Structure 1
Amino acid sequence: MLQVAVRVVVHALLALALLASPSLAAAQAAQPKGSLVIIGGALRGDNAPVWERMVQLAGGKGARIAVFASASANPAKTGQLLVNRFNQYGARAFFVPVAVTLSGTDYQAAADDAALADAVRSAGGAYFAGGDQGRITRALRREDGSNTRMLDALWDMYRRGGVIAGSSAGAAIMSSTMFGHPKPVLATLKLGLDDGKEIAPGLGFIGEDVFIDQHLLVRGRFARMVPAMLKKGYKLGLGIDENTAMVVGPNREVEVIGYRGALLVDLSKAVPQDGPLNVSNVRLSYLDNGDRFNLVTHAFTPSADKLDNKIDPAKPYFREPLFSADILGNTTVVDLMARLIDSDQSEAIGLSLDSPNGVQPDLGFEFKLTRTGDSVGYVSLLTEQYSVYNMRLDIRPIVVPRPLYQYRAADAAR
Structure 2
Amino acid sequence: MVRSALRLFLAVLLLAGAPWCAAADAVVQPKGSLVIIGGNLRPSNGPVWERIIQLAGGKGARIAVFASASGTPERSGKSLVERLNSYGAKAFFVPVAVKLSGSNYQAAADDRGLAEAVRNANGAFFAGGDQSRITRALRHEDGSNTRVLDALWDMYRRGGVIAGSSAGAAIMSSTMFGRPRTVLATLKLGVEEGEEITDGLGFVGDDVFIDQHLLVRGRFARMLPAMLKKGYKLGLGIDEDTAMVVLPNRDVEVIGYKGALVLDLSNAIVHEGAFNVTNVRVSYLDNGDHFNIVTRECTPSEDKADNKLDPSRPYYREPLFTADILGNSTVVDLMSKLIDSDQPDAIGITLGSPNGVQPDLGFEFRFTRTDDSVGYQSSSMESYSIYDVRLDIRPILIRRPLYQYK
Bin the TM-score by the shorter chain: over 0.9
Q: Secondary structure at the match of 1:110?
A: helix
Out of 103, 116, 119, the residue aligned to residue 117 of structure 2 is 119
| DSSP-derived class of the 1:33 partner | coil
Matched, 1:217 2:237: no
Corresponding residue number in structure 2 for 1:176: 174
Question: Aligned AA for 2:290?
Answer: R
* Gap change, CA 1:28 and 1:359, over 3 Å in 2: closer
Q: Counterpart in 2 of 1:130?
A: 128
Question: How many residues end up aligned between the 2 structures?
Answer: 388
- Other-structure match for 1:332: 330
Partner of residue 143, structure 1: 141
- Give me the whole-angstrom Cα distance separating, in 2, the residues matched to 1:61 and 1:55: 7
Q: CA deviation at 1:217?
A: 0.2
Distance 2:90 2:121 in 1: 10
* 8 A contact 1:141–1:148 mirrored in 2: yes
RMSD over aligned CA atoms reads: 1.4
Q: What CA deviation, in whole Å up to 9, does each residue of 1:119-174 have, x standing for no partner?
A: 00000000000000000000000011100000000000000000000000000000
**Where does 1:267-278 land on structure 2 (aligned, <5 Å)?**
267-278=265-276
Aligned equivalent of 1:411: none
CA shift in 2, pair 1:25/1:181, >3 Å = closer
Gaps of 5+ in 1: 1-21, 409-414
Residue 356 of structure 1 deviates from its aligned partner by 1.0
Q: State the partner residue of 1:58.
A: 56
Output the CA distance in 2 between the equivalents of 1:315 and 1:38. 37
Partner of 1:360: 358
Give the 5 Å matches for 1:36-75: 36-75=34-73
The 3 A distance-change label for structure 1 pair 108 and 269 is: same
Q: Secondary structure at the match of 2:226?
A: helix
- Tell me the SS of whatever aligns to 1:196: coil
Deviation of residue 383 (structure 1)?
1.3
- The aligned residue for residue 246 of structure 1 is 244
Which structure 2 segments of 5+ residues have no match? 1-19
> TM-score, normalized by length of structure 2?
0.94
Deviations 1:241-260 (A, max 9, x none): 00000000000000000000
Q: Secondary structure at the match of 2:376?
A: strand
Structure 2 distance, partners of 1:131, 1:274, is 36
Question: Equivalences for 1:78-97 in 2 at 5 Å?
Answer: 78-97=76-95
Q: Tell me how far 1:277 sits from its aligned partner.
A: 1.2
Any residues of structure 2 matched to 1:93-108 within 5 Å, and which?
A: 93-108=91-106
**What are the Cα deviations for residues 219-278 of structure 1, in whole angstroms up to 9, with x where unaligned?**
000000000000000000000000000000000000000000000000000001233210
CA distance in 1, matches of 2:80, 2:243: 17
The residue identity in structure 2 corresponding to 1:228 is: A
What one-letter code is carried by the residue in structure 2 that aligns with 1:377? G
Query: Is the contact made by 1:192 and 1:276 (CA closer than 8 Å) also made in structure 2?
Result: no
Question: What per-residue deviation string (whole Å, max 9, x for no partner) do you get for residues 309-368 of structure 1?
Answer: 001100101111100000000000000000000000000000001111111111100000
